């Protein structure tokens, strides 16, 4: 199984400041079709996860442009340029390349 490792597991950020979450996979997520199957989800308290980013850096419909994704191969980063109160959530990376699909442990973002 591909292991997804996120760091940090928690972070506290002042509103308006940036935040960054790292996700590393135990194998490359680049497929022969040229796509990299790395996704980011967020889960707000009491809710189901929801899609943020797909294929590393593409924002899903309705996701604010303060969210950005980058990386390649096995190293990926989710950045929030200016954290807002509504960004409080747990953020998960997920690999969609090989079965079983696997998730990172989650990073809990709190507001200072």
| Minimum CB distance to other proteins smaller for 41 or for 67 | 41
The rounded radius of gyration (Å) of the Cα atoms in the chain is 13
Do residues 96 and 37 touch, judged by C-beta distance below 8 A?
yes
The CB-of-95 to other proteins minimum distance in angstroms stands at 10
Start-to-end CA distance of the chain, whole Å, equals: 36
Residues of the shown chain interacting with other proteins in the complex, contacts defined by CB under 8 A: 33, 35, 39, 41, 48-51, 54-55, 58, 60, 92, 94, 96, 99-106
The CB-of-99 to other proteins minimum distance in angstroms stands at 6
| Minimum CB distance to other proteins smaller for 16 or for 105 | 105
- Return all residues near 75 (Cβ < 8 A) that are at least 6 apart: 22, 23, 24
The CB-of-105 to other proteins minimum distance in angstroms stands at 6
**Residue given tokens 């690999």 in the structure block:** 95
How much of the chain is helix, strand and coil, in % rounded to 5? 5, 50, 45
| Minimum CB distance to other proteins smaller for 8 or for 18 | 8
The CB-of-67 to other proteins minimum distance in angstroms stands at 15
């Amino acid at each position: 199984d591909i292991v997804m490792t996120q760091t940090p597991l928690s972070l506290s950020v002042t509103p308006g400041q940036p935040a960054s979450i790292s996700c590393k996979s135990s194998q490359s997520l680049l497929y022969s079709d040229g796509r990299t199957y790395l996704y980011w989800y967020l889960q707000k308290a009491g809710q189901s996860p929801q899609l943020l980013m797909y294929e590393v850096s593409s924002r899903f419909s309705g996701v604010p442009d303060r969210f950005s994704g980058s990386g390649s191969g096995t190293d990926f980063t989710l950045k929030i340029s200016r954290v807002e109160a509504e960004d409080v959530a747990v953020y998960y990376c997920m690999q969609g390349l090989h079965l079983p699909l696997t998730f990172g442990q989650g990073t809990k973002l709190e507001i200072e």
